[in-house]
């Protein structure tokens, strides 16, 4: 029985997006997150005494600004090699041969697969054969799986590939292939990279995306890490091991029926507490407010106040620096919208005018031009990741329902206070 680790998409020194605008964000901790996650990987390899590590592409996040990124990676690999742990590495689209202008010689014991053809490495002591191919260009549209060699008889065969497998939406298409292509090779395990969400796509043989080591933005939520594989003959068992040092979480707060600020605060606090769970890691939190609520108009009228109420709830639940609020998204709706036939003349007139303007393409185009002019004058504000950007007619139309509800809420209250 022996072990290996499958990881991918380290994106070393990639910035964590969305936290830099927070005044209390620990800039150094954010900057170092991908390095600390790699350190955790090395420590896990040593603790589990794995025979080797497979890195299925995207070690780097593009060209290095200086040599420190490459030196750091090389030092981490040297620790593994000194412990007798081999490393098998393929280049992905972010670290394709054509994208990295600086070069460093990696330690003996790190095998980098060629970019012009698949190659095979055999480890006789554990009867393992590792097959892989890197890439020269950041855009690869060919299916390279048919070029991979046949399995080595008597070995546990592992295929390493950086690929956007058919059906995986939301990622740049890269060396695309089908699951059936992989299964047809007759390997015992496919170690894939490129998709940042952990997925076990098939068992017997296993076809696995381990996800990335460290989430970098709010679309990469949950525990991030690697897959520890224990091999007994031709049988494998898998364990996901978290390695991240900052965790991204999206917290949905249902405000349905909430009628007071006290309701708002208690709902937010309960939802945040549930989202934080038992994790002791620092969290980067996005809060999304939803539901039909009588507070909808008040939230629209003063979103900054309610954004700070969310921040207040977060601070009341954790030690300073434990949770950082990445953004607050308002997706609530009015509890009882007014129908035009049952309202006073002023409301009916407003609704009729609003409906006409919504269908007036010239008015909307002129409004868009005006708003874009305002945005150009306050570029520093709209550069914030949580700022509302109005860049097209579609953006204008998406904001119209909230504008309508804001005016209606003011009319419900008799127009006072606005």
Whether the predicted pLDDT of 141 surpasses 90: no
Cα dihedral 364→365→368→374 (10° resolution):
-120
pLDDT value for 338:
52
Q: Is residue 400 part of a domain?
A: yes
Residue 10 confidence (pLDDT): 94
Same domain, 105 and 190: yes
Give backbone dihedrals phi and psi of 80, rounded to 5 degrees, phi first: -65, -45
**Which structural domain range is residue 274 located in?**
247-412
pLDDT by residue (tens digit) across 7-59?
A: 999 999 887 776 655 556 666 777 799 999 999 999 999 999 999 999 999 99
For residue 42, give Cα distances in angstroms to 15, 243, 282: 21, 10, 21
User: Do 339 and 359 fall within a single domain?
Assistant: yes
* Count of domains forming the chain: 2
Checking if the pLDDT of 81 tops 90, the result is yes
- Closest C-alpha among 405, 8, 67, 62 to residue 243: 8
* 216 plus 273 within the same structural domain: no
Any idea of the CA torsion for 36, 89, 173, 70, to the nearest 10 degrees?
A: 50
Instruction: Report the pLDDT value the prediction gives residue 261, as an integer from 0 to 100.
Output: 93
Of the candidates 242, 275, 291, which is a domain's last residue? 242
254-269: average pLDDT? 94
**Average pLDDT of span 200-204:** 96
30 touches 231 (CB < 8 A): no
Do residues 315 and 23 touch, judged by C-beta distance below 8 A?
Answer: no
Alpha-carbon distance values, 326 to 35, 170, 314 (Å)? 21, 22, 11
Residue 418 lies in a domain: no
Is it the case that residue 351 has pLDDT exceeding 60? no
CB neighbour class for 165 (10 Å; exposed up to 12, middle 13-18, buried from 19): buried
Q: Are residues 95 and 137 in the same domain?
A: yes
Contact 230, 5 (CB under 8 A): no
Residues 295 and 332 in one domain: yes
Last residue of a domain, one of 226, 242, 258: 242
Q: Do 13 and 90 belong together in one domain?
A: yes
Reported pTM: 0.79
If asked whether residues 10 and 140 sit together in one domain, one would say yes
Average of per-residue pLDDT values in the chain: 84
Which one of 197, 215, 242 terminates a domain?
242
* pLDDT (tens digit per residue) in 11-20: 998 877 766 5
Q: What value does the CA radius of gyration of the chain take, rounded to a whole number of Å?
A: 26
Does 307 fall in a domain?
A: yes
Instruction: Specify whether 120 is located in the same domain as 188.
Output: yes
CATH assignment at residue 11: 3.60.21.10
- State how far the Cα of 49 lies from the Cα of 38, in Å rounded to an integer: 16
Same domain membership, residue 297 and residue 213: no
Query: Model confidence at 416, in pLDDT bands (50, 70, 90)?
Result: very low
For residue 123, CA distances in Å to 79, 204, 270 come to 20, 22, 52
pLDDT > 90? residue 210: yes
| Short-list 348, 352, 328, CA closest to 338 | 348
Reply yes or no: is the peptide bond before residue 205 cis, omega within 30 of 0: yes
In a domain, 219, yes or no: yes
- Phi (first) and psi of residue 407, to 5 degrees: -70, -45
């Amino acid at each position: 029985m022996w072990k290996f680790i499958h990881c991918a998409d380290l994106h070393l020194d990639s910035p964590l997006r969305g936290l830099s605008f927070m005044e209390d964000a620990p800039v150094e901790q954010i900057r170092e997150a991908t390095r600390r996650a790699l350190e955790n990987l090395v420590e896990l390899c040593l603790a589990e005494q794995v025979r080797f590590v497979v890195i299925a592409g995207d070690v780097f996040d593009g060209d290095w600004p200086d040599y420190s990124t490459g030196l750091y990676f090389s030092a981490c690999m040297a620790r593994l090699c000194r412990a007798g742990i081999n490393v098998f590495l393929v280049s992905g689209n972010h670290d394709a041969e054509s994208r990295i202008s600086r070069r460093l010689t990696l330690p003996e014991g790190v095998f980098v697969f060629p970019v012009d053809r698949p190659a095979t490495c055999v480890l006789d002591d554990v009867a393992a054969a590792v097959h892989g191919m890197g890439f020269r260009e950041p855009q690869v549209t060919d299916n390279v799986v048919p070029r991979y060699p046949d399995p080595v008889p008597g070995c546990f065969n592992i295929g390493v590939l950086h690929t956007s497998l058919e059906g995986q939406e939301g990622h740049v298409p890269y060396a695309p292939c089908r699951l059936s292509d992989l299964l047809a090779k007759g390997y015992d395990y496919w170690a894939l990279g490129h998709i940042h969400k952990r997925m076990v796509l098939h068992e017997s043989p296993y076809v696995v995306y381990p996800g990335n080591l460290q989430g970098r933005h709010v679309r990469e939520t949950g525990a991030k890490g690697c897959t520890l594989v224990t091999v007994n003959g031709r049988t494998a068992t898998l364990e996901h091991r978290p390695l991240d040092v900052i965790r991204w979480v999206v917290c949905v707060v249902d405000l349905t029926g909430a009628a007071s600020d006290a309701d708002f605060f208690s709902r937010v606090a309960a939802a945040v507490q549930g989202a934080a769970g038992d994790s002791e890691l620092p969290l980067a939190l996005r809060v999304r407010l939803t539901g039909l609520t009588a507070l909808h108009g008040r939230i629209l009228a003063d979103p900054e106040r309610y954004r700070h109420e969310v921040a207040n709830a977060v601070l009341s639940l954790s030690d300073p620096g434990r949770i950082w609020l990445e953004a607050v998204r308002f997706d609530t709706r009015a509890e009882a919208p007014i129908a035009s036939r049952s309202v006073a003349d002023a409301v009916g007139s407003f609704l009729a005018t609003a409906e006409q303007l919504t269908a007036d393409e010239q008015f909307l185009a002129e409004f868009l031009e005006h708003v874009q002019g305002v945005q150009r004058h306050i570029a520093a504000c709209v550069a914030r990741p949580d700022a509302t950007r109005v860049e097209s007619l579609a953006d204008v139309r998406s904001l119209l329902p909230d504008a309508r509800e804001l005016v209606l809420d003011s009319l419900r209250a008799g127009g006072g206070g606005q």
